[in-house]
A and B are shown apart, each in its own frame.
Chain A
């Protein structure tokens, strides 16, 4: 029993898990508002990270200006995807829409490799101090930063949905599109907004991951990890997505602990979430907090 190692991994899991939670939250946001399963969520993360990286290193923009510029870019980009690609697909079968987002993810992934190359790039130093000692544990400052940013985004999202007018409009649209429309909500705008917010939030998560680990196309793996997280939490529950993300993050690291201490299979870390995914789908397909789909004939 290597307690020090276990605690370190659990902290890791918590940090990565909150990031999964943030990405899963933005995934669920799109699903809830527009009924689109976005297979290109990881690529949105990647685009955000690369754009910020390009601004900071190629154009020498300082971080305080580069980050808002990235967010603005992703906001516009999200609207553009919705308007150009997904708006014409409204009313098509769900399978077609899923396949369109799969196509989008292929295009983004390959275009980014074309533009920025395949080699991982280090992110410019944003913070100076390396690590702090917390209760005998060495924790890197970037991890604390990442945790703070993730929690801040979750709180921001909660505020947005509880209090703001747009958030209310979005919840109304998610509840019933026709009723929302009859009350004067522009469903078109809500759809575009959902994509814009989701893209920006993903971009923040992307930049956070990039600050910690550098930018590489491997970042889009977060988009795949979203599925276990979102399914575990229930596909249409934002709170569930956050919780699911944290659980998956912790689980990955526990799997790594068990693997390196006892089993020595190697690589269990990466594959464990998918086994969990299959098990959840078999016993509780609507997740912890998802709405049960009841069909009356």
Chain B
């Protein structure tokens, strides 16, 4: 798994400070700030339908970011991410319903508690590598989901749990238009946090473990500590995203968070590019928009001969799953570095545009 370490020739950085800046140029920093400011006007410009898609992208991007810390930066793999997402959702709903804690504080608290659970699962996982780890997280997925369907006091058991709407100091956020800003804030903050994490000593330790764990250990990096830590971090972001999802949907249920959802999270990371922070956002947007676009196409074909022959509209859920599976395979075979790599190539192409060689 190649990281974002491909540095083009002609890039002369002479200090460590210059090497670890978040934005390589002033223009890219201004572009990022302009992009965030621009997206702030989205609730005014977009319809409810598009806003709900944007909110979904935002929430899932936070969870996928957590998974990317694990998969892309530490080289671990988890197919139990959906269970942690759901754990965050239930925890936040539970806290805000039973304790006198406003939702504003319940969300980060849910993140912390999910992180603790992630650490518990991470301790045995830290001893395991590669496929043993995959299988351990698979077990975690099933055990956690089983726990949710059993623990009536916590998750409502078979019935879905209800969650309060987001509120801060008595002001209640109602509707997608207001909730959009909540998600946007969390998204920007968590992406900044992770970008900064990768500039620190701990972030470099994680990357070292991914690249060659034996060498990393010889250099004095505590493998167990950092592997467990990355599990905790992944669970933290999954928990935050799950909590945001709970207060967006206002109900939480086991439905739709089986192993398929964990695979979708993995798809987001792979398609975006393992080990790329901005890639995660792109990958999430891709994976969220893919089924939607399939819905448009099949709605467009409704009543036509193709639709009748294949009965597309009746089977749209299966077609989505097929598409996601095929996209995962195709990206791994033809573009293992994901959309982030493609984006970098497009940028280099335009940099030298009329004189490409």
Name A148-198 residues within 8 Å CB distance of B. none
Tell me the smallest distance from the CB of B18 to a CB of chain A, in Å: 31
Contact of B324 among A89, A106, A275 (CB under 8 A): A106
Contacts A107-B326, A110-B321 given; does A297 touch B75 at CB 8 Å: no
- Central interface residue in A93, A235, A270, A297, by most chain B CB within 10 Å: A93
Interface residue B209 (Cβ < 8 Å from any Cβ of A): no
CB-CB under 8 A from A270, the residues of chain B are 146
Q: Please count how many residues in chain B sit with their CB below 8 Å of the partner chain's CB atoms.
A: 43
Interface string of A209-245 (1 = CB under 8 A from B): 0000000000000001001000100010000000000
Chain A, residue nearest B147 (CB): A271
Q: Within 8 Å of chain A (Cβ to Cβ): is B86?
A: no
Q: Is A258 close to B, CB under 8 A? A: no
The segment from B40-48, B134-142, B191-199 that touches chain A is B134-142
- Number of cross-chain contacts by CB at 8 Å: 119
Contact between chains at B1 and A114 (CB < 8 Å): no
Q: CA separation between A102 and B332, bound complex, in Å?
A: 11
Distance (whole angstroms) from the CB of B312 to the closest CB of chain A: 10
Kindly state the separation between the CA atoms of A102 and B36 in the bound complex, as whole angstroms. Answer: 35
Select which of B128, B214, B319, B329 is within 8 A of A85 by beta carbon.
Answer: B329
Given the complex, which residues of A lie within 8 Å of B128, measured CB to CB?
Answer: 281, 285
Residues of A within 8 A of B322 (CB): 106-107, 110-111, 114
A95 touches B263 (CB 8 A): no
Kindly provide the distance from the CB of B238 to the nearest chain A CB, expressed in whole angstroms. Answer: 18
Query: Which B114-141 residues have C-beta < 8 A from chain A?
Result: 124, 127-128, 130-132, 134-136, 138-140
> Is A104 on the interface with B (CB-CB < 8 A)?
yes
Pairwise interchain contact B131-A94, C-beta atoms closer than 8 A? yes
Bound CA span A111–B267, Å: 18
Query: Which chain A positions have C-beta within 8 A of B156?
Result: none
A265 part of interface (Cβ distance < 8 Å): yes
Contact, CB under 8 Å: A37 / B329: no
Q: What is the interface of chain A mostly: helix, strand, loop, or mixed?
A: helix
Q: Which of B266-291 contact A (CB under 8 A)?
A: 266-267, 270
Residue-wise interface mask of B (127-167) relative to A, using a CB-CB cutoff of 8 A (1 in contact, 0 not): 11011101110111011001001100000000000000000
Q: Report how far A167 CA is from B128 CA in the complex, Å.
A: 31
Report A99-118 residues with CB < 8 Å from chain B CB: 99-100, 102-107, 109-111, 113-114
- The residue on B at minimum CB distance from A265 is B150
> In whole angstroms, how far apart are the Cα atoms of A135 and B218 in the complex?
63
Question: What residues on A are CB-neighbors of B150 within 8 Å?
Answer: 265, 267
Asked if A100 meets B333 with Cβ closer than 8 Å, knowing A106-B263, A297-B214, the reply is yes
Contact status B326-A103, CB under 8 Å: yes
Question: In the complex, A105→B71 CA distance in Å?
Answer: 20
Complex Cα–Cα for A244 and B267 (A): 32
Tell me the bound Cα distance from A124 to B315 in angstroms: 26
A94 touches B130 (CB 8 A): yes
Given contacts A96-B332, A281-B124, A297-B214, contact A37 B325 (CB under 8 A): no
Q: Is the CB of A114 within 8 A of B336?
A: no
Complex: chain A residue closest to B146, CB-CB: A271
Q: Are A114 and B136 in contact (CB under 8 A)?
A: no
Question: Across the interface, do A100 and B138 meet the contact criterion of CB distance under 8 Å?
Answer: no
Q: Known contacts being A94-B130, A297-B218, is A281 close to B136, with CB within 8 Å?
A: yes
**Closest Cβ neighbor of A102 among chain B residues:** B263
Contacts A37-B134, A265-B150 given: A278-B325 contact, CB under 8 Å? no
For A37, A93, A102, A278, which residue has the most chain B Cβ atoms within 10 angstroms?
Answer: A102
Chain B residues whose CB sits within 8 angstroms of the CB of A94 once the complex forms: 130-131
- Interface contact B71-A106, CB-CB below 8 Å: no
Q: Is B107's beta carbon under 8 Å from chain A?
A: no
Q: Tell me the nearest residue of chain A to B327, going by C-beta.
A: A103
Question: With an 8 A cutoff between CB atoms, is B243 at the interface?
Answer: no
Residue-wise interface mask of B (192-232) relative to A, using a CB-CB cutoff of 8 A (1 in contact, 0 not): 00000000000000000000001000100000000000000
Q: Which of A99, A271, A274 has the most CB of B within 10 A?
A: A99
Provide the residues of chain B in CB contact with A282, threshold 8 Å.
124, 127
- Report the separation of the CA atoms of residues A101 and B71 in the bound assembly, to the nearest whole angstrom: 17
A114 B315 Cβ-Cβ under 8 A: yes
Task: Please name all residues of chain B whose beta carbon is closer than 8 Å to the beta carbon of A277 when the two chains form the complex.
Answer: 135-136, 139
Which positions 305-357 of chain B face chain A at CB distance < 8 Å?
315, 318-322, 324-326, 328-329, 332-333, 336
Report B7-48 residues with CB < 8 Å from chain A CB. Answer: none
1/0 per residue, CB under 8 A from B, across A81-103: the answer is 00001001100111110111011
Counting CB contacts under 8 A, is B79 at the interface?
Answer: yes
A selection of 30 A-B contacts at a CB cut-off of 8 Å is A94-B131, A96-B1, A98-B77, A98-B131, A98-B134, A100-B329, A102-B79, A102-B266, A102-B328, A103-B267, A106-B322, A110-B319, A110-B320, A110-B321, A110-B322, A110-B325, A114-B318, A114-B322, A227-B139, A231-B132, A231-B135, A235-B131, A267-B146, A274-B142, A277-B136, A277-B139, A281-B124, A281-B128, A281-B136, A281-B139
Q: A92-B332, A104-B329, A111-B318 are in contact. List 17 more A-B contacts (CB 8 A).
A: A37-B134, A85-B329, A85-B333, A88-B333, A94-B131, A95-B77, A96-B336, A99-B270, A103-B263, A103-B332, A104-B325, A105-B325, A265-B150, A271-B146, A281-B135, A282-B124, A297-B214
Q: Tell me the A residues contacting B by CB distance below 8 Å.
A: 37, 85, 88-89, 92-96, 98-100, 102-107, 109-111, 113-114, 224, 227, 231, 235, 265, 267, 270-271, 274-275, 277-278, 281-282, 285, 295, 297
Give 8 closest A-B pairs by Cβ, nearest first: A106-B325, A110-B321, A107-B325, A103-B328, A114-B318, A103-B329, A274-B139, A110-B318
